[in-house]
Amino acid sequence: MPGIEQSAGLAFRAIPELAWLADGENVGSERHRALIAQGACFVAVDDRDRPIGFLSAAAEGDALHIWELDVHLDWQGRGIGRALLEKGIERGRSLGFAAVTLTTFRDVEWNAPFYRKAGFRILNADKIDHRLATLLGEEASHGMPSERRCAMRLEFD
């Protein structure tokens, strides 16, 4: 999974100001194991059963929070990310959560616009709860440009 995240991140080389993300730290195996144990992670595999993408999510308050969604660079743009996202949303609904949340880039085509098509909405500043505000703050402290970051929520009926 760290290898997939590393490869997926290369997509950011296409955006000069965010190209540094391609060389950023990846989530470690221990953290992946802990997330898998919580039961809301999905892996996409190729025809030889080799992992090529994954979604990691976990319970956070009333929501299922998506921590990671990555597709290997060689496999991007073929509908795999959308399929993983749909699985995650389905799992959030079936587990009885009120919503699915995440943080992402507002203006990167395969981030907020992609999630918007799946039903997520960007939360305005007055709608961002303490948890998501803390998360955005932590991201900023790690060098993320906060004006380009946003929190999104898909509310279940």
Task: Decide: 12 and 18 in contact? Cβ < 8 Å.
Answer: yes
Least separation in angstroms between CB 7 and ligand COA: 8
40 and 92 Cβ atoms separated by less than 8 Å: yes
62 or 107: CB nearest ligand COA: 107
Name the closest residue to ligand COA (Cβ).
81
Question: Which residue, 39 or 79, is less far from ligand COA as judged by CB?
Answer: 79
Residue whose CB is less far from ligand COA, 114 or 157: 114
CB of 35 to ligand COA, least distance (A): 15
* Shortest CB 76 distance to ligand COA, Å: 3
Q: Which stretches of the chain bind ligand COA, using CB under 6 A?
A: 8-9, 11, 69-71, 76-82, 104, 109-111, 113-114
What's the min distance (Å) between Cβ of 2 and ligand COA? 13
d(CA 56, CA 70): 9
Residue with tokens 């999630």: 115
54 DSSP β-pair partners: 43, 70
Instruction: Name which of 58 and 80 has its Cβ closer to ligand COA.
Output: 80
Closest-CA residue to 108 (of 152, 74, 78, 75): 152
User: CA angle at residue 11 from 6 to 17, to 5 degrees?
Assistant: 105
